[in-house]
Amino acid sequence: MRITRLVCGSCGSPLRGLGTDVIFVCTGCGSGWLGEETGLKSVPIEHRAKPGAGIALPFWRISAAVHVLKRTVRKEFTSTILTLDSRYDRNALQEKTRETGGSSQRREFIFPAFSVNGLPGIGVSLSEKSSLLPPVLEETWDYPGVPGGSLSRSDGEILARCIAIGQETEKSDWLAEIELVISAVSSSIVVLPCVQEVEKINVADTGVSFFRRSVLRWDQILEFSRGEA
Amino acid sequence: MHPDCGAESAGKGEEMNDLLTLICPSCGGLLQTSEGNTNTVCSHCDTPLLLQGVTRRYLIESAADATGVIRAVGKKLDEVSRGVFKYCRVGRPFLAYVPFWLVSCRVDGYVFGVKPVYKERKIRIPVENDRGGTQGTIVRVIKQRKGIRAEEHQISNEISMIISAANLEPLGIPSLGKNSQMGLKGMALGRSGTGLPLKVFDSEHLPGNAHVVDPSVSIAQARRESEEYVSRLCEGVGVGLEQRSTYLSVTGSKERLIHYPLWTVDYSFEKRHFRIVVDGVNCEVLRGTFPADYEHWKKVSGVLGSVWAGLLPLILLVIFSGILKMGPVLMFFILSLWGLGAVSLRFLNMAGKSAGMDNHI
């Protein structure tokens, strides 16, 4: 194991985070860094959390080309045996599905870069509401510490595919089967202000929330943020 | 703390982070961090440090020594096969560092399918009595499939598992893998770790008494097993779905190989050989065969012998006194003898059976 000093490659300030973090944000110059096997790698970052406006948490923003090769949906919500040829015939059940055709489009996924249960669902909601995100902050001299970023870039790209499938399930039809390929075009970190409201954590003003207990290291995140404040 | 061998036991309910000791490159001070951490801060010079490269092989040193292990075995033998320990010839305990893979990952995904919808119908059935009349009614519920309902489920979970990296069957320990995640009762090594200090495995600096078992299960095999386990676990989401399609994203996979101390103690009793496996961390007896309890059989035989020896003069007195000429007395005498004999035989049988069967843990 190689042990090196964890300092910002741009300004030399010490980088701090939780023990399991792989995403680091410099509080001196605001640059973002990813801890990889070979060392620290720079990552584009958008600061949208004003200092003191809540707990600044990291989110992945992945822009990707999504190719839906095959999408099969069920024709109706509930089918009864009366409309089928046979009660248990698998082929008969399959007749109740139809293909909606493939598509190719560029999508942008925003989802937590920290470990949280229900991540695909949060990612689907947040990606939909990307227009409601707070504006990118102008250059400021005071950047908040951003704890909890434990999902690497490669993990983010894998999860982007999962969220793309989640977006397909959100459509009004009932998905039966899907073949989908995504190729990530760009990835960056978005720092968003999150506000704790009793048991719920609200993400900026997007209306998207998740439960405090579903974040695996919430107590450590809170302790870190209080320490920073 | 274990009362016999002084081994520390992992706390229950607390977060089970394995501790790792490293040296700070800035000040040379010792820094202790949880295994799996990617960064840490030196407590001496406050320098934040990045831990690069993954160390996957660790060793947990045995907290118990040979004397403590023999004491633990003696206590267990005394508990299971009372009185046997003093007649046993106990061999020198053998310490082996047995490898286990600890695999953890995050699983997110979706499951689609259709769930059958059933219609329940209650039918009252009259019950006839012997005379042909109606005695009452019973209600039978008939479940009839009336259609299907489409369902979409989300999966989001962190999964940890433990896989034996060597064949443990010769030790009498069932191997842990994709089909068995029950763990071993009493073993301090759990799926989420041990909560005990880990040492980076260094083949040149092993403990003096170490017999390190090399892993026979490769990391690729461990990953394959963990993938199969994950998909089997995810089958549980949306149970009963038909035409099922599952899409899983496995992220943050982490594998570590831990050499865990297990002591084996061989002993013989009445020319028969037995083996006991003791956990080197908490000194618990994990597996073993214990000889049958002969002392119990001897005690039962002794008590029954004394009872019959005490009864014999009384029986002879009754026979030769002539009172058996009276019919009811003879009948009572024979029945009493038969009853006492049957009870004695039953006790002897039970004691004999327990004396003939070894106990397994």
Q: Transcribe B119-165 into DSSP letters.
A: EEEEEEEEEE-TTSSEEEEEEEEEEEEEEEEEEEEEEEEEEEEEEES
Q: Is B325 exposed, middle or buried (0-12, 13-18, 19+ CB in 10 A)?
A: exposed
A–B: how many Cβ contacts below 8 A? Answer: 147
Mutate to test the interface with B, among A1, A3, A172 (most CBs of B within 10 A): A3
Distance from CA of B256 to the nearest CA of A (A): 14
Please judge whether B158 and A21 are an interchain contact, meaning their C-beta atoms are less than 8 angstroms apart.
no
Q: Show residues of chain B in contact with A120, CB under 8 Å.
A: 108-110, 154, 156
Closest of B238, B237, B221 to residue B178, by C-alpha: B221
Q: Do B84 and B232 fall within a single domain? A: yes
Q: Which residue type sits at B286?
A: L
**pLDDT, mean of residues B57-68:** 87
Evaluate whether residue B181 is within a structural domain: yes
Q: Are residues B210 and B308 in the same domain?
A: no
Q: In chain B, how many domains are there?
A: 2
Residue of B nearest to A7 (CA): B48
- Is B41 in the same domain as B186? yes
Considering CB atoms only, which of B52, B158, B251 is closest to A37? Answer: B52
Domain boundary among B254, B269, B290: B290
Residue B129 sits at φ, ψ, to 5 deg, of -95, -175
Put simply, the answer to whether B48 touches A15 (Cβ < 8 Å) is: yes
Mean per-residue pLDDT, B45-74: 84
Q: How far apart are CA B183 and CA A149, in angstroms?
A: 32
For the beta sheet containing A2-5, the strands, ordered from the edge strand earlier in sequence to the opposite edge, are A2-5, B48-52, B39-41
B218 and B338 share one domain:
no
Residue A188 lies in a domain: yes
Per-residue pLDDT band at A62 (split at 50, 70, 90): very high
For residue A13, tell me if it sits in a domain: no
CA distances from A123 to A113, A129, B68 (A): 10, 10, 54
Residue with tokens 């003939």: B356
Phi-psi region of B148 (alpha: psi -120 to 50; beta: other; left: phi over 0): beta
pLDDT band at A46 (very low <50, low <70, confident <90, very high): very high
Are residues B48 and B177 located together in one domain of the fold? Answer: yes
**In this model, does residue B361 exceed pLDDT 80?**
no
Query: What confidence score (pLDDT) does residue B6 get?
Result: 44
Task: Show the tokens assigned to B236.
Answer: 């549980």
Question: Comparing C-alpha atoms, which of A20, A5, A224, A23 is closest to residue B46?
Answer: A5
Question: Does residue A55 form part of some domain?
Answer: yes
A18 assigned to some structural domain: no
- Domain span including residue B85: 19-109+153-290
Domain boundary among B290, B308, B336: B290
Note whether B193 and B44 are same-domain residues.
Answer: yes
Nearest to A147 by CA among A215, A200, A197, A205: A215
pLDDT in tens, B309-347: 998 888 888 888 877 777 788 888 888 889 999 998 888
Which residues lie below 8 Å from residue A69, measured CB to CB, with a gap of 6+?
A102, A179, A180, A181
| A177 touches A70 (CB < 8 A) | yes
User: Is B8 among the domain residues?
Assistant: no
Residue B129 lies in a domain: no
**Whether B115 contacts B242, CB under 8 Å:** yes
Calpha distance B310→B59 (Å, rounded): 64
> How confident is residue A95, by pLDDT bands cut at 50, 70 and 90?
low
Q: Is residue A209 part of a domain?
A: yes
Considering the domain architecture, whether residues B170 and B82 belong to the same structural domain is answered as: yes
Is A14 inside a domain boundary?
A: no
Residue B173 lies in a domain: yes
Same-domain check for residues B209 and B352 = no
Report if residue B137 sits inside a domain: no
Which of B290, B324, B349 is the last residue before a domain boundary? B290
Per-range mean pLDDT, top range of A91-105, A151-165, B2-16, B268-282: A151-165
For residue A26, what pLDDT is reported?
Answer: 92
Which is higher by pLDDT, A95 or B79?
A: B79
User: Closest Cα partner for A194 from A142, A126, A139, A94?
Assistant: A126
> Is residue A143 in some structural domain?
yes
What are the residues facing B142 on neighbouring strands? B121
Mean pLDDT (whole number) for A219-227? 89
Q: Which domain holds residue A187?
A: 23-228
Provide, for chain B, the percentages of residues in helix, strand and coil under a 3-state DSSP scheme, each rounded to the nearest 5: 25, 40, 35
Where residue B10 falls among pLDDT bands split at 50, 70, 90? Answer: very low
Residues in contact with A199: Cβ distance below 8 Å, sequence separation at least 6, in sequence order: A211, A212, A213
**Sorting pLDDT into bands at 50, 70 and 90, what band is A82?**
very low
Confidence band, pLDDT 50/70/90 cuts, at residue A24: very high
What is the C-alpha separation between A229 and A52, in angstroms, rounded? 7
Burial (Cβ within 10 Å: 0-12, 13-18, ≥19) of residue A4? middle
Question: Are B95 and B165 contained in the same domain?
Answer: yes
* Domain count of the fold of chain A: 1
In a domain, B259, yes or no: yes
Residues B177 and B93 in one domain: yes
Which residue in A3, A5, A81 is closest to B146 by CB distance? A81
Residue B65 tokens, joined: 């020594």
Tokens of A18: 């939780």
Distance CA B242, CA B151 (A): 10
Q: Is residue B186 within 8 Å of B260, Cβ to Cβ?
A: no
Is A119 within 8 Å of chain B by CB? yes
Query: What pTM was estimated for this model as a whole?
Result: 0.74
pLDDT number for residue B3: 47
| pLDDT given for residue B357 in this prediction | 67
CB pair distance less than 8 Å for A159 and B117: no
Q: Which residues of B touch A115 (CB under 8 A)?
A: 106, 158, 252
B263 and B315 both lie in a single domain: no
Instruction: Tell me which of A167-171, B16-20, B328-332 is least confident.
Output: B16-20
To the nearest whole number, what is the mean pLDDT of chain A?
86
Taking residues A179-196, report their average pLDDT: 92
Task: Provide the pLDDT confidence category of residue A158 given band limits of 50, 70 and 90.
Answer: very high
B300 & B183 share domain = no
User: Does residue A2 lie in a domain region?
Assistant: no
ipTM value, please give it: 0.86
d(CA A31, CA A35): 13
